[in-house]
Amino acid sequence: MDTSLIIETAYFVAALLFIYGLKRMSSPVTARSGILVAGWGMALAVVVAFLYGFDVNERAQPHLTMNIALVLIALGLGVGWAWYSGKKVAMTNMPQMVALYNGMGGGAAAAIAAVELFSGNAQAHGVVISILAVLGGLIGSVALSGSLVAWAKLDGRLNRVLRLPMQQLVNAVLFFASLATGAAVVTAGMAGAEPPMLLIAVFFLIALALGVMITTPIGGADMPVVISLYNALTGLAVAFEGFVLQNPAMIIAGTVVGSAGTLLTLMMAKAMNRSVTNVLFSQFGGDEEGDAGDIQGSMKASEASDAAIAMYYASKVIIVPGYGLAVAQAQHKLYEFVKLLQKQGVDVRFAIHPVAGRMPGHMNVLLAEAGVPYDIIADLEDINEDFTQADVAVVIGANDVVNPAARTRKSSPIYGMPILNVDQAHQAYVIKRGQGKGYSGVENELFYAENTAMVYGDAQKVMVQMIEAVKALG
């Protein structure tokens, strides 16, 4: 059978597996199998790529053995690192891993563009291929450096929000400079000249700097949207480079990732009642001081045992998980406590805000790890009206997503963002390490409300105390 026919057929099957796997990832029930299906598709695409070795030109024949050996070494290193890090990573560090993988994808696309442009292959295949190589290189470089900055912020290695005077002007200059140098690279190829090595190097350096400068001013509250956006950019860069290499699997996989990432980015921005450009350029969620203004009331402390007993005798309890739950790794103890409440006949549900945690779906993954059934987990739009009927609402490690200031305080940076209506429950408890503000830097009016009590402490220790209190009731 013709080698090219085998390759094309295998790529078509791989593309179907990508699409089917993505479809299954749309539900928490089938997400795990969806990841496996897409993984098998990627494995097929990688293995079948070795068949290109049977059809290389005469100039490449002397280097074939060495090149295959290098590819195998690179594959071994990549697979080994991914397997080790995937097994070792804690659930709280999953956002950092996603940011790193986004960066690696963008970096791979940029590396392909660099090889094609420095070697002159892209220019030799015409203007369209040259433009696609430059665009893929630009987007991939921005995704690489931006994702690395996002990783550093999420991992606590870059705690400060760095902003330059006239930051947006600097970013605009870098953006147009990257376009100008990219256009010069394409123009040089059209003239038939040798690849301008220095110009190509400057182009990639500017693109990398642009990714850094775009991401450093963005605060932690917007990181889920930023990660999703860079995921979309990585997919787009891979698709462009797929056209450059005439590789259907890269084109389809990149397009699928790019479109899915774009939709997810828009949905998350909509959930925050903001535009993507506002996220990137408004400098929300930084280190500015929030205005406590004329917040009425005071924070009232409560013992964990008192909160547990109140829930034990309630009819309906709604739990709002946040990043603090992930940090404390309290999800297993939380579900143990929930099962005690359910045994007592309490109707318990979980309310998930679209941007809770530090990446899309973070809380869903966390609860799934603890074995929480999907049918008691609800999204914001499905459960928000139920808070008025809830006897008790419990917030664990969440902050901005339950701040009533988003509804009423027009001067607040979170004004307009849909929130979970915890303040409308008959009684609210907030489990929190201290009295700190959320990522937005503003005071949370919920903490001062008449019907709210604060339970201070590490979430896991608090849950242990609650379990003991409920068990003591018999």
Locate 456 and state its tokens.
């201070």
Terminal CA-CA length for the chain: 73
The predicted model scores a pTM of 0.76
Q: How far apart are CA 370 and CA 34, in angstroms?
A: 20
Q: How far apart are CA 340 and CA 317, in angstroms?
A: 13
> Do 319 and 353 meet the contact criterion of CB atoms below 8 Å apart?
no
**C-alpha triplet 366, 38, 68: angle, nearest 5°:** 120
Amino acid letter, residue 169: L
Please report the pLDDT score of residue 457 as a whole number.
92
Locate 219 and state its tokens.
């605060």
Reported as type and span, the H/E element at residue 64 is helix 64-88
Domain 301-473 is found in CATH 3.40.50.1220: yes
Locate 463 and state its tokens.
């849950």
Q: Where in the chain is the domain with CATH 3.40.50.1220?
A: 301-473
Rounded to 5 degrees, φ, ψ at 206 are -65, -45
> Do 389 and 316 meet the contact criterion of CB atoms below 8 Å apart?
yes
CB burial class (10 A; 0-12, 13-18, 19+) of residue 72?
A: exposed
Q: Consecutive 10-residue runs of the chain (474 residues): their mean pLDDT?
A: 83 90 81 90 91 80 88 92 85 80 92 94 90 95 93 79 78 93 90 85 95 82 78 92 89 88 82 71 50 72 94 96 88 94 95 80 83 91 94 92 86 81 95 73 86 94 94 84
**Identified catalytic residue from 222, 386, 400, 423:** 400
Cα within 13 Å of Cα(272), Cβ side: 26
* Active site (annotated) includes residue 2: no
Query: Which residue reads 């996220």 in tokens?
Result: 279
Locate 158 and state its tokens.
């870059």
Please report the pLDDT score of residue 436 as a whole number.
67
- Closest by CA to 351, choosing from 422, 272, 431, 444, is 422
Query: Which residue reads 């420095």 in tokens?
Result: 118
